[in-house]
Amino acid sequence: MPRSVIVVGGSLAGLMHALQLKRQGNNVTILEQDPSSERSSNEAGIAFRAYCEEFLTKYDDTGVTVCVPISRTRIGWRTRPQLLSFALSMRLTSWGHLYRVLRANFDGYASKAVPVPPPSRPGDGRGQYLVGKRAVGLSYNEQSGIVTVRYVDFSTGKEEQMTADLVIGADGIHSTVRNLIGVHTVKEYAGYVAWRGTVPEKLLSQETLEYFTSCVNANTMKRSYAITYVIPTDDGNFEPGERLINFVWYYNIAEGSPEMDRVLTDINGVHHRNTVPRGLVQPEEWARVRETMLPHMAAPFAELVSKNDSPFVTKIHDARITSPPTCHNGRVILVGDALTTLRPHSGSASEQAAFHCLRLPRVWDLETDLKDWVTQVDFYTHRLYLLSRAIGELGQGSAFSFFKSLFSYVACLLSALWYGKPKPSSR
């Protein structure tokens, strides 16, 4: 069992691992490069599924409501608001709300969502969340088993260092930790971007509001589709009429095209490699996309999208590692998007982070070893990776690319049936 832990990256995967390790009695420090704890650049909706639920049931002491349950899904086809509708239960929340709940538990961070954070449990270790610290280097002393992380402190501009028994690399798609330990990654642009945003319920007409609050909705268009669902505010407001309608709208753009260049260049002329945050998207670009697509959308979607003036846009990638996500005798471990970045279609990024996390205590409790964790994680993550690709290609790709990705997914499921899912070995 490690005693001191550094987690690089303080988003959902980092916070989940940090909270779990703290509850197990370790002293945990999160190094987050963002200079502010009030993170609001990209906050929008996320799906909240079984492993996230299991995680919070085990470790959350805030007692606050976390998600909105929805029991139906509706599919619209081009300008027709409803082609079919069927029962499908989902639970949704906002990134910002879940972040605040995790912070309240981890380091007692008070926010409007959790004004009075719960006290630590008896036996908890210490938890500290340091902002404005970017990890830049990592070394391992084999004799002592100690890992040293070097980081730049943005408040002083100086490089500092910190040591730990264990380092968790939860630093997302462009993971520095992954590069530092030399884990090779295959990263590929999926062929489209996601325009994302939220609209307060109170800005919508009554008819449109009813349409969006009763179901998770999808509006399929030619080589484009949008998904919407209702979420709480980042401050944890679940009051009907006060919540937000979240949309994710997938839109094809060729790699290297002038259009891609324009979309990823912000209002200050800065070019972003992955996401242009909320507030920095060029208004002319957003206006141009809406002008092109709105006439082809169902009326409720068109109303929703036209009422958002501050979206953010993300280039969608597939990224997965091709060697094990651990190094230095298991003292450095990659998790979450740093391990595999899934396309967002299956709503599984936070679910994957919770899965990675919930399987790790078996390693510390010596019920299994890290090799088994890697096998379990690899199988689970690979399946989600193929599923999210297949859904993405159905909406955005050609018939050929869809059937090809569907075939890979089905082959993965069949091979699991045939050979059996990997089971942890006991020690």
What are the residues binding ligand FAD (CB under 6 A)? 8-14, 31-34, 39, 41-46, 95, 134-135, 170-172, 176, 336-338, 344, 349-350, 353
- The four Cα atoms 309, 314, 316, 322 give a dihedral, to 10 degrees, of -160
For the CB of residue 397, give the shortest distance to ligand FAD in the complex, in Å.
Answer: 21
Strand partners, 326: 333
Q: Which residue is nearest to ligand FAD (CB)?
A: 336
The two three-digit tokens of residue 387, written as one number: 């599923």
For the CB of residue 345, give the shortest distance to ligand FAD in the complex, in Å.
Answer: 11
Question: Whose Cβ is closer to ligand FAD: residue 178's or residue 362's?
Answer: 178
Residue 124 phi, psi (nearest 5): -65, 150
Question: Whose Cβ is closer to ligand FAD: residue 176's or residue 228's?
Answer: 176
Q: Using H for helix, E for strand and C for coil, what is the string for 321-365?
A: ECCCCEECCCCEEECHHHCEECCHHHCCHHHHHHHHHHHCHHHHC
For the CB of residue 388, give the shortest distance to ligand FAD in the complex, in Å.
Answer: 11
Question: Whose Cβ is closer to ligand FAD: residue 82's or residue 274's?
Answer: 274
Residue 241 phi, psi (nearest 5): 100, -20
Nearest to 23 by CA among 357, 371, 353, 332: 357
For the CB of residue 301, give the shortest distance to ligand FAD in the complex, in Å.
Answer: 19
402 Cβ contact partners less than 8 Å away, ≥ 6 residues apart? 390, 393, 394
Q: How far apart are CA 142 and CA 161, in angstroms?
A: 18
The two three-digit tokens of residue 263, written as one number: 């979309």
For the CB of residue 179, give the shortest distance to ligand FAD in the complex, in Å.
Answer: 9
Question: Whose Cβ is closer to ligand FAD: residue 34's or residue 60's?
Answer: 34
Q: Give the burial string for 372-406 (b: 16+ CB within 10 Å, else e).
A: bbbbbbbebbbbbbbbbbbbbbbbbbeeebbeebb
Question: Whose Cβ is closer to ligand FAD: residue 227's or residue 264's?
Answer: 227
**Maximum Cα interatomic distance, the chain, rounded to a whole number of Å:** 67
Question: Whose Cβ is closer to ligand FAD: residue 77's or residue 154's?
Answer: 154
358 Cβ contact partners less than 8 Å away, ≥ 6 residues apart? 20, 51, 54, 55, 58
Question: Whose Cβ is closer to ligand FAD: residue 37's or residue 401's?
Answer: 37
Question: Whose Cβ is closer to ligand FAD: residue 227's or residue 302's?
Answer: 227
98 with 60: CB under 8 angstroms? no
Question: Whose Cβ is closer to ligand FAD: residue 149's or residue 298's?
Answer: 149
For the CB of residue 175, give the shortest distance to ligand FAD in the complex, in Å.
Answer: 7
Question: Whose Cβ is closer to ligand FAD: residue 153's or residue 259's?
Answer: 153
Q: How far apart are CA 288 and CA 292, in angstroms?
A: 6
| Distances 181 to 176, 226, 370 between C-alpha atoms, Å | 9, 38, 17
For the CB of residue 45, give the shortest distance to ligand FAD in the complex, in Å.
Answer: 6
For the CB of residue 144, give the shortest distance to ligand FAD in the complex, in Å.
Answer: 24
The two three-digit tokens of residue 382, written as one number: 């690979």
For the CB of residue 349, give the shortest distance to ligand FAD in the complex, in Å.
Answer: 3
Q: How far apart are CA 290 and CA 270, in angstroms?
A: 23
Strand partners, 396: none
For the CB of residue 353, give the shortest distance to ligand FAD in the complex, in Å.
Answer: 5
